[in-house]
């Protein structure tokens, strides 16, 4: 094989694909709009940070102590006082109607009991929303500790022997779930987009009938595959940069590590997923089948087996091993390492290796399974 002729044909193919894209406004719009929409939608949906929880207050005591407690409780962003009612019964009514999720009940005599060192209040939580409930309960116990420390200091001053365990959250000081989740989200969105982009290209040639004309020329299978890969790599890279920019602008996700490393690992990841799409496209002869195969084979693994929401460490062993063949898993890991921790590049070695292997296997499969005749 003459390498110069090879390049001529790959570029002829790539140029043609690029022109198709140029003529196809809808696809370009879809390719650039969809990731943005997905990121924003999912970004807000997966923000597990729970704040502004609608809270009702039942203050049966009505003393300076009780009011101080109530105002302290609702002073942060976590709870938002939406109503003050007369009894615990009414709190339940508001729960059922969905107006509130938390009720703080300060019983009559709280102020008096507090002076005796025995202040008790009740916190009602609507636990049908377990996520909110557990975060409220953990907040309540933290609140307990703070309050008691404060009281001890008031009574004993600095003589008090207090133990205080202070946690400091590194890399994500405000412990915002978005910061952790957005890299995973980017990997998931990009997996889907890249696979779908290329999945249609070969199937389209079959449907249009142009495959017959293509087969009548001496163009090689690898030339077709590579020629189709190139332009879509450009599109996918544009998508990825767009999504990364959005992640930092809209969700405040930092990029602490090296931009070069980020682009490098992104290149490998996109080559892997685009090749996956090409393989699907070669196997499916119509765009319907290709779209469905692309959606299922990219979305499920990148959502469930990438470590994006479900931690891989908690999975059963066989599943953990399986995650190695999910490109998104390596991309999620690498993105978090680069963006959040500015990790040493050596931790990316495994990811890079896995992505390269995946891309090569897919390219070889796509080329091998590419028919060279009609029947």
Partner 1 sequence: MSAIIEVVGLEKRFGTFQAVRGVSFQVDRGEIFGYLGANGAGKSTTIRILCGLMTPSGGTASVAGHDVASDPEGVRFSVGYMSQRFSLYPDLTAMENLDFFGGAYRLARRARLRRAEALLGDVGLSADDPRTAGAMPGGVRQRLALAAALLHGPQVVFLDEPTAGVDPEARRTFWRIIRKLSDSGTTVFVTTHYMDEAEYCHRVGLMVDGALVALDTPSGLKRAHVPGRLFAVRGTGLDVARLRELAGVTHVEPFGAGLHVRGDLLTAEVLSEAVRAHGGQGVLVEESAPTLEDVFLAVAARSSAG
Site for partner 1 in 254-283 (CB under 8 A): none
Nearest CB to partner 1, comparing residues 100 and 211: 211
What would the two tokens of residue 367 be? 């080329």
Residues 16-75 that bind partner 1 (CB under 8 A): 16, 19-20, 23-24
Q: Answer for the pair 131, 48: CB distance below 8 angstroms, yes or no.
A: yes
Least separation in angstroms between CB 260 and partner 1 = 33
CB-wise, 158 or 217, nearer to partner 1? 217
How far apart CA 337 and CA 348 sit, in angstroms, is: 8
Provide, rounded to whole angstroms, the least separation between the CB of residue 261 and partner 1.
Answer: 36
* Cα–Cα distance for residue pair 264/266, rounded to 1 Å: 5
Query: Minimum distance from CB of 231 to partner 1 (Å)?
Result: 13
Smallest gap, in angstroms, from Cβ of residue 224 to partner 1? 9
Distance CA 137, CA 130 (A): 10
Least distance CB 211 / partner 1 (angstroms): 8
Q: What is the DSSP string of 21-63?
A: HHH-HHHHHHHHHHHHHHHHHHHHHT------EEEEEEESS-S
Closest by CA position to 85, among listed 49, 57, 43: 57
Binding mask 186-225 for partner 1 (x = CB under 8 A): ----------------------xxxxxxxxxxxx------
* 55 bridge partner residues: 81, 102
Q: Which stretch binds partner 1 (CB under 8 A): 9-17, 50-58, 165-173, 261-269?
A: 9-17
Range 157-186, binding partner 1 (CB under 8 A) = none
Q: What is the Cα–Cα distance from 197 to 334, expressed in whole angstroms?
A: 23
The only residue of 12, 37, 45, 175 in contact with partner 1, by rule CB under 8 A: 12
Range 191-224 burial, b when 16+ CB lie within 10 A, else e: bbbbbbbbbbbbbbbbeeeebeeeeeeebbebbb
61 vs 205, beta carbon nearer partner 1: 205
Task: Lay out the site mask for partner 1 across 306-345 (x = CB under 8 A, - = otherwise).
Answer: ----------------------------------------
Stretch that binds partner 1, among 13-21, 63-71, 155-163, 272-280 (CB under 8 A): 13-21
**Which residue stretch of 7-15, 44-52, 233-241, 342-350 sits at the interface with partner 1 (rule: CB under 8 A)?**
7-15
375 binds partner 1 (CB under 8 A): yes
Interface stretch with partner 1, choices 8-16, 62-70, 98-106, 349-357 (CB under 8 A): 8-16
166 Cβ contact partners less than 8 Å away, ≥ 6 residues apart: none
Q: Which two tokens stand for residue 199?
A: 């999945």
3-class secondary structure, 94: helix
Closer residue to partner 1, CB minimum distance, 23 or 166: 23
| Total residues in contact with partner 1, by rule CB under 8 A | 28
Nearer to partner 1, 214 or 241 (CB): 214
Distance CA 346, CA 85 (A): 59
> Which residues partner with 122 through β-bridges?
105
Cβ closer to partner 1: 169 or 375?
375
Interaction of residue 128 with partner 1, rule CB under 8 A: no
DSSP-derived secondary structure for 116-182: TT----EEEE-TTSHHHHHHHHHHHHHHHHHHHHHHHHHHHGGG-----------SSTT--HHHHHH
Q: How far is the CB of 282 from partner 1 (least distance, A)?
A: 18
- Integer distance in angstroms from the first to the last C-alpha of the chain? 26
The least distance separating partner 1 from the CB of residue 208, rounded to whole angstroms, comes to 7
Contacts of partner 1 in 344-373 (CB under 8 A):
372-373
Residues engaged in binding partner 1 (CB under 8 A):
5, 8-9, 11-13, 15-16, 19-20, 23-24, 208-219, 372-375
């Amino acid at each position: 094989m003459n390498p110069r002729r090879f390049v001529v044909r790959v570029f002829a193919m790539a140029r043609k694909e690029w022109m198709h894209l140029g003529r196809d406004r809808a696809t370009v719009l879809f390719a650039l709009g969809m990731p943005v929409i997905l990121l924003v939608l999912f970004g807000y949906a997966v923000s597990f940070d729970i704040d502004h929880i609608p809270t009702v207050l039942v203050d049966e005591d009505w003393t300076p102590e009780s009011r101080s407690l109530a105002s302290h409780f609702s002073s942060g962003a976590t709870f938002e006082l939406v109503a003050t009612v007369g009894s615990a019964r009414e709190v339940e009514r508001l729960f059922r109607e969905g107006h509130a999720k938390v009720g703080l009940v300060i019983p009559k005599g709280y102020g008096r009991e507090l002076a005796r060192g025995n202040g008790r209040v009740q916190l009602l939580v609507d636990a049908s929303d377990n996520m909110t409930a557990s975060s409220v309960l953990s907040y309540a116990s933290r609140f307990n500790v703070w309050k008691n420390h404060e009281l001890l200091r008031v009574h004993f001053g600095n003589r008090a022997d207090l133990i205080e365990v202070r946690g400091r959250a590194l890399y994500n000081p405000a412990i915002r779930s978005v910061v952790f989740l957005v890299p995973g989200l980017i990997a998931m969105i990009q997996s889907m987009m890249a696979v779908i982009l290329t999945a249609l290209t070969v199937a389209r040639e079959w449907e249009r009938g142009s495959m017959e004309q293509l087969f009548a020329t001496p163009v090689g299978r690898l030339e077709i595959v590579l020629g189709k890969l190139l332009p879509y790599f450009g599109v996918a890279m544009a998508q990825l940069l767009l999504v990364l920019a959005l992640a930092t602008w809209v969700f405040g996700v930092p990029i602490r590590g090296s931009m070069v490393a980020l682009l490098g690992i992104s290149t490998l990841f996109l080559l892997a997923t685009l090749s996956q799409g090409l393989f699907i496209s070669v196997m499916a002869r119509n765009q319907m089948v290709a779209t469905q195969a692309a959606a299922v084979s990219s979305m499920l693994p990148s959502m469930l087996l990438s470590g994006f929401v479900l931690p891989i460490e908690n999975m059963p062993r066989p599943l953990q091993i399986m995650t190695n063949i999910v490109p998104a898993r390596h991309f999620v890991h690498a993105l978090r390492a680069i963006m959040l921790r500015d990790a040493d590049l050596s931790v990316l070695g495994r990811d890079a290796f896995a992505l390269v292997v995946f891309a090569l296997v897919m390219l070889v499969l796509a080329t091998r399974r590419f028919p060279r005749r009609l029947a």
